[in-house]
């Protein structure tokens, strides 16, 4: 056809293109977007790159996907690793093995038979080795690992959605008016009534009721609006009833320099660590969530190192007190790619039991995936991923973007997510979360 068009000239090209456009429009609506994934004709153009998204995040390939015999073939390792599936290659037998902790898959180049959990799985076509990469039909991911695979005609590519995954979900519980009540968002009924509500998704509560002053005094009312509400005992009782561990959040900001003053005073830090631990034990919390914000904004060089070292010192003091009491320490931190760089992730990762990365407030809504991924990558380089949770800010996300942020936590094998905050998570967001996180 191409040679004919070249000979016939412009007229032939126009005829061909008009015919082709009509055919594409027809096929887009008629194409069966089955697990085998036969894409519309437009996607089958020779040399056309086919974008592939896993949990809304793009996958990078060194060997591009291709269309063959009406099937989309993709490099197995790239997709598998994006799904946190471990892959091993045996060059002698040209066999690839993969496992995700629940399912295993064994495939051999040149064979039409794969083995899922040692049971045979027939393929539409033989596996191929191209430029050192094993290419397989996309439907294998659907059948072997429970993924949903769809052709997106508007994007001209493939969307893969992983099955709901097990992960920790921390919900920040703070004050709220009748329209943004943390209680209603969590338990599904106006205070003081309770129901299961969203407790099947939320695994823990971070209770934002405390602050400290520069002398190291523990406060239940602060100038930033954090305070212990009336009926706080009911919140703790309901949390225990629904088997939700609780952490007391101690929040302070450095807007007026009070936080820097505290961290420069060893006696004040010791006093604060003791008071926090005493309160955590007295109220029956399971741990403490330290949320000291705004450090390092105007600092650089030796001064920045001093600020980081002082915060790490306080975290060490508090961790020591808490561990003696059988309690754990969670740190809620600005990301390393933010304007607030007063946090030494590597040192803090050795001190804390967990770190919540506040990868938000970048000034764009929804939060840009590239910056969130960068924040996670930077933290993961110096802290074990199981210790990390991705903070997700409901006010700066949408129902559609929330699933993508959870996808980042999945892709980088983080310990879970933390929602800021209960009372601001819309019904549509809860629905989106249920599609990507396994409920209890």
> Over the stretch 8-61, which tens digit does the pLDDT of each residue have?
333 333 334 444 443 333 333 333 333 345 454 444 444 568 899 999 899 988
Q: For residue 8, what pLDDT is reported?
A: 30
Q: What is the pTM of this model?
A: 0.86
| Angle of the 301-324 helix axis to the 266-283 helix axis, nearest 10 | 40
Range name among 34-48, 181-195, 278-292 with the lowest pLDDT average: 34-48
With a CB cutoff of 8 Å and minimum separation 6, the contacts of 124 are 36, 69, 71, 112, 137, 139
Q: Sorting pLDDT into bands at 50, 70 and 90, what band is 351?
A: very high
CATH topology of domain 31-161: Copper Amine Oxidase; Chain A, domain 1 (3.30.457)
> Over the stretch 93-146, which tens digit does the pLDDT of each residue have?
999 999 988 899 999 988 889 999 999 988 888 888 888 888 888 888 777 888
Residue ranges per structural domain of the chain? 31-161, 168-436
The tokens describing 173, both together, are 């519980």
With a CB cutoff of 8 Å and minimum separation 6, the contacts of 303 are none
How far, in Å, are 251, 261, 282 from residue 224 at the CA level? 9, 17, 24
With a CB cutoff of 8 Å and minimum separation 6, the contacts of 278 are none
Q: What does the alpha-carbon distance between residue 272 and residue 418 come to, in Å, rounded to a whole number?
A: 25
Q: For residue 22, what pLDDT is reported?
A: 37
Q: Is the peptide bond before 366 cis (omega within 30 degrees of 0)?
A: yes
Burial of 401 (0-12, 13-18, 19+ CB in 10 A): buried
| 168-436 is a CATH 3.40.50.2000 domain | no
Pairing of strands 157-161, 148-152: antiparallel
Q: What does the alpha-carbon distance between residue 375 and residue 384 come to, in Å, rounded to a whole number?
A: 14
Which residue reads 């892709």 in tokens? 411
Answer with the residue of higher pLDDT: 165 or 331. 331
């Amino acid at each position: 056809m191409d040679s004919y068009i070249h000979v016939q000239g412009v007229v032939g090209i126009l005829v061909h293109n008009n015919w082709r456009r009509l055919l594409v429009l027809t096929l887009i609506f008629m194409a069966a977007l089955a697990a085998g994934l036969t894409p519309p004709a437009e996607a089958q153009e020779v040399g056309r790159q086919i974008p592939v998204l896993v949990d809304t995040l793009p996958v990078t390939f060194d060997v591009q996907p291709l269309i063959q015999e009406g099937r989309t073939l993709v490099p197995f390792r790239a997709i598998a690793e994006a799904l946190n599936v471990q892959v091993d290659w045996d060059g002698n037998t040209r066999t690839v093995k993969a496992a995700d902790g629940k399912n295993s898959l064994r495939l051999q180049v040149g064979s039409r038979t794969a083995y899922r959990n040692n049971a045979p799985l027939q393929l539409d076509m033989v596996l191929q080795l191209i430029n050192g990469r094993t290419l397989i039909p996309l439907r294998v991911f659907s059948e072997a690992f429970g993924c949903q695979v769809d052709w997106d005609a508007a994007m001209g590519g493939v969307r893969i959605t992983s099955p709901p995954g097990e992960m920790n979900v921390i919900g920040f519980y703070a004050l709220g008016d009748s329209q943004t009540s943390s209680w209603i968002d969590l338990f599904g009924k106006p205070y003081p009534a309770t129901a299961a509500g969203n407790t099947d998704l939320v695994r823990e509560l971070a209770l934002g009721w405390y602050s400290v002053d520069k002398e190291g005094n523990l406060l239940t009312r602060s100038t930033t609006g954090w305070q212990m509400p009336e009926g706080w005992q009911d919140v703790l009782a309901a949390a225990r009833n629904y088997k939700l561990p609780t952490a007391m959040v101690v929040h302070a900001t450095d807007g007026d320099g009070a936080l820097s003053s505290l961290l420069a005073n060893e006696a004040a830090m010791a006093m604060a660590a003791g008071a926090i631990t005493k309160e955590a034990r007295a109220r029956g919390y399971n741990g403490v969530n330290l949320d000291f914000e705004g450090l390092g904004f105007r600092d650089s060089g030796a001064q920045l190192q001093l600020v980081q070292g002082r915060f790490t010192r306080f975290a060490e003091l508090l961790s020591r007190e808490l561990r003696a009491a059988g309690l754990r320490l969670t740190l809620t931190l600005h990301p390393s790619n933010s304007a607030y760089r007063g946090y030494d992730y590597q040192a803090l990762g050795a001190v804390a039991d967990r770190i919540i990365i506040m990868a938000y407030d970048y000034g764009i809504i929804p939060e840009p995936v590239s910056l969130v991924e960068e924040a996670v990558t930077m933290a993961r380089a110096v802290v074990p991923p199981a210790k990390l949770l991705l903070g997700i800010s409901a006010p700066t996300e949408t129902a559609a973007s929330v699933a993508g942020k959870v996808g980042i936590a999945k892709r980088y094998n983080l310990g879970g997510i933390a929602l800021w905050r209960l009372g601001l998570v819309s019904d549509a967001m809860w629905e989106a979360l249920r599609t990507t996180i396994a409920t209890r």
